[in-house]
Structure 1
Amino acid sequence: MSIRRITLLAMLSALCVVGRMAFAHIPNVQPVTSIIIITAMFMGPANGLILGFISTVLTNMTLGTGIWTIWQIISWSMIGLVSGWIGRAHEKWGIPFVVLIMYAGFCGYFYGFVISLNMLLLSDRFLAYYLAGVPFDTNHAIGNMIFFSLLYPVMSRIFIHYLKKGPFSSI
């Protein structure tokens, strides 16, 4: 992995931390998932996994760490992996933007489901716990769709420029 990629991942991790902190007052609405999706689509599955891991660890250092941190790492890392594969398919076949927005929404529900899996280990009330979290997952899904719609056009242009031409040439 090049210094350029490591630096870009560090900046994106910082963006995830700032974005999550800025929206911490709105339950389950933050740009982290969308940033991970877009990053993985352009930089590949491995980089999506790395960003999911680093972003979780860094944000939880300020927002609090607990048993959920493991599940957040698993969830965001899996979203990064799958999004990287979707990015390859998008590059090859051109997935419509509306479908990508719907995928971002689905990732909100997927994230909530994976987070809820810890209740399988801790309690026999998984279904009740999961269903109680569905409104929060809906917030996450809607937030992802909005953030993805806003961030994708900007970030895709930056990624294409940065990864193909280099950081110091004019946009």
Structure 2
Amino acid sequence: MNTYKLTLIAVLASLAVVGRFAFNFLPNVQPVSTIIIICGFFLGPFAAIVLAILTTYLSNLILGMGIWTIWQIVAWALIGGLGGCIGLLSLKRPLYPLIVFAVFSGYLYGFIVSLATFTVSGKFIPYYLAGLPFDTYHAIGNGLFMFVLFPILSKIFNRYKKQWIVD
């Protein structure tokens, strides 16, 4: 991994942590999933997984650590890896498929994090069903953040694309 990628991942991690903290007053509305998907789309699955680990660890230092931290890392790493696989496809207009995937990832994230409760208490279905409204907030927020952030971040990624290939 070259210095351009490392720098970009560090900047994206700080953007995701600040975004997660800034939108903390809205339940499950946060730009983290979207930023990880965009990172995976442009930089590949490995970079998205590194970003998922960094973002989860750093933001949970502020918001609180617990058993859910491991499951958040798993969920965001899977979402970033899938975003990286979407990036391997050559899409002419990637915004709308990425919005659909971002909405889907809100529910996928909620499902995976709900597995943490199953491992502790053994009661998955009631907890998951009670959390579906929050997963819906997450999904809608992901779609909106993707609509806003993808055009902005894609310009940044495309500007530095030549430096990544050289190094």
Equivalences for residues 77-116 of structure 1 within 5 A: 77-89=77-89, 92-94=90-92, 96-116=94-114
Q: TM-score, normalised by structure 2?
A: 0.94
Distance (whole Å) between structure 2 residues aligned to residue 151 and residue 133 of structure 1: 26
Post-superposition CA distance 1:105-147 (Å, at most 9, x none): 0000000000001122112321000000000000000000000
Give the CA RMSD over aligned residues: 1.3
Aligned residue identity for 1:82: L
Classify the secondary structure of the residue corresponding to 2:160: helix
Report if the CA contact (8 A) 2:104-2:139 is conserved.
yes
Deviates more, 1:157-166 or 1:99-108: 157-166
Cα distance in 2 for partners of 1:152, 1:96 equals 9
Query: Which residue number in structure 1 is paired with residue 47 of structure 2?
Result: 47
User: 1:48–1:129: structure 2 CA closer, same or farther, 3 Å change rule?
Assistant: same
In structure 1, the gaps of 5 or more residues are 167-171
Q: Per-residue deviation at 1:164?
A: 2.1
The separation in 1 between residues aligned to 2:108 and 2:16, in whole angstroms, is: 19
- Give aligned-pair identity as a percent: 49
- Structure 1 partner of 2:122: 124
SS in 2 for 1:117: helix
Deviation at 1:93, TM superposition (A): 4.0
Count the aligned residue pairs.
Answer: 164
